[in-house]
Amino acid sequence: MNMLPEQTFTVSTIDRATYALEQLIGQPVRLDHQHPNVPGSPLHGADGQLLIGQNAFLVDVKAALHLKTLGLLKASVRPGQLPRVVVSPYISPAIGQALQQQGVYYLDTVGNAYLQSADPALLILIQGKRPPAAERGETRRAFRRTGLRLLYHLLNRPELLQAPYRTLADEASLALGSVSAVLADLRQLGLLREEGDHRRWLDAPQVLRRWVEGYGETVRPKLLPHRYRWLDADTSRNGWQEVPLGIDSWWGGEPAAHLLLDGYLLPEYFTLYSTASRGELMRRFRLVPDESGKVEVLMPFETTSFQHRPQSRAVSPLLAYADLLLTTDPRNHEVAKLLHEQYLSHLA
């Protein structure tokens, strides 16, 4: 059976990482790609099972890890499940340290590892292994900036999935050839199927997950983020809702979730998307530049679709969902689930 490019990458990455770990710890490391059923331990789409002696781990393969998107990863130990280990071609010391702080187990193809099991006791911590000089995998076009732009519209407005190429090009302000290339890439990846004039997602949750990752890694850092603090401390508790947004600003992240979920989340950190100048922002919102401030202001990612949103003062639920997941706050991750249930259930 022929495997898709991503399946080949997954198997190769796990095999190389397993071999590297086995050489370093001097004991067998077994791997099962067949996803056997483990009583009481739902697999939830794991890429395989790793066995070290009597200790079992579920494997999740990631093509790359970035500091800005580590908030998407869940802690390795969850009730009722086997511990999980993230496997990637290379995990830098900075990312390894961040993963350890989050309680996320990891393993890479050069032997860097953090694994722990309680029964029987096992602790593996290997750091400082240098990355291979070999080539790095290229991000597929569908998840580069152009593809992420088109995907934003397709995920945000499900009816566009059936729209003609020309309509998609106009909606996303892209060349017709770019739309064709991105959709072809999605088909090749096994994520999209076209049957005549009808298109459907083959794995909508994976498309959503990869869009959030791509947005955090590729797009968000280029939106000129700046941090501020409120000039008036009371603004963070109640006054933020009274701030005149104007026609050039929209709440994202925690305040957007508050607005979209009828006040369910009380914001601690504030994300604002705005095209206003820095001077105008500071005057209107009474902000003071502060690198450790709780207000983050970014340029809008895609204003053309802001007219298609359920809350006039907030960005789309899709963008608010991404903002929340790209933090390391478990509370925000739970709120993101609520946004998904209420607004993004078509992507389940």
Residue 132: per-residue pLDDT: 52
Kindly state whether residue 306 falls inside one of the protein's structural domains: yes
Q: pLDDT of 92-101, one tens digit each?
A: 888 898 899 8
Q: How many residues does the chain have?
A: 348
Same domain, 159 and 118: no
pLDDT of residue 9: 53
Per-residue confidence (pLDDT) for residue 190, from 0 to 100:
86
* Any domain includes 136: no
The enclosing H or E element of 24 equals: helix 5-25
Co-location of 177 and 109 in the same domain: no
More confident residue, 206 or 66: 206
End-to-end CA distance of the chain: 28
Other Cβ atoms within 10 Å of 306 Cβ, number? 17
How confident is the model at residue 44, as a pLDDT?
Answer: 55
- Within-domain flag for 131: no
The set of residues, in sequence order, having a beta carbon less than 8 Å from that of 347 and lying 6+ positions away, is 155, 201, 204, 205, 207, 208, 340
**What pLDDT does residue 167 have?**
96
Lowest mean pLDDT among 65-79, 101-115, 116-130, 247-261: 65-79
Query: What range defines the domain where residue 12 resides?
Result: 5-126
Same-domain pairing of 214 and 228:
no
d(CA 250, CA 243) in angstroms, rounded, equals 11
pLDDT recorded at residue 2: 44
Using one digit for the tens of pLDDT, what is the confidence trace for 256-298? 999 999 988 899 999 999 999 999 999 999 999 999 899 999 9
Give the pLDDT band of residue 161 (cuts 50, 70, 90): very high
Whether residue 211 is found in the same domain as residue 229: no
Q: Which of 173, 196, 220 is the last residue of a domain?
A: 220
pLDDT confidence of residue 131: 66
Residues 236 and 199 both lie in one domain: no
Q: Is residue 158 part of a domain?
A: yes
The predicted model gives 3-28 an average pLDDT of 73
What's the confidence (pLDDT) of residue 5? Answer: 45
Answer yes or no: do 183 and 205 share one domain: yes
Same domain, 316 and 227: yes
Instruction: In whole angstroms, give the CA distance from residue 244 to residue 139.
Output: 40
pLDDT exceeds 60 at position 136: no
For the residues 145-168, what does the mean pLDDT come to? 94
Q: Confidence band (pLDDT; 50, 70, 90) for 4?
A: very low
pLDDT beyond 50 at 135? no
Q: Is residue 132 in a domain?
A: no
Look over the chain and give the mean of its residue pLDDT values, rounded to a whole number.
Answer: 84
Report the pLDDT value the prediction gives residue 237, as an integer from 0 to 100: 72
Per the domain annotation, does 134 fall within a domain? no
Q: Does 147 lie in the same domain as 110?
A: no
Find where tokens 């941090």 sit.
227
- Domain end, chosen from 220, 237, 261, is at 220
- Over the stretch 217-260, which tens digit does the pLDDT of each residue have? 889 988 989 999 999 877 777 789 888 898 899 999 999 999 99
User: Does residue 251 sit in the same domain as residue 341?
Assistant: yes
Q: Are residues 87 and 17 in the same domain?
A: yes
Question: Is residue 133 in some structural domain?
Answer: no
Same structural domain for residues 227 and 343? Answer: yes
Residue 283 amino acid letter: R
Task: Output the pLDDT for position 138.
Answer: 46
Q: Please check whether residue 314 lies inside any domain of the structure.
A: yes
Q: Average pLDDT for residues 6-20, to the nearest whole number? A: 71
Share of the chain above pLDDT 70, in %: 88
307 & 229 share domain = yes
pLDDT of 304 strictly over 90: no
Half-sphere exposure of 258 (CA within 13 A, CB side): 19
The fraction of the chain above a pLDDT of 90, given in percent, is 43
Domain edge (last residue) among 63, 95, 126: 126
Sign of the Cα pseudo-torsion (189, 193, 194, 199, in order): negative
Q: Indicate whether 344 pLDDT > 90.
A: yes
Is the confidence at residue 36, as pLDDT, over 50? no
Does the pLDDT of residue 156 top 50, yes or no? yes
Q: What is the CATH number of the domain that holds 183?
A: 1.10.10.10
Number of domains, the chain: 3
Q: What pLDDT, on the 0 to 100 scale, is given for residue 11?
A: 62
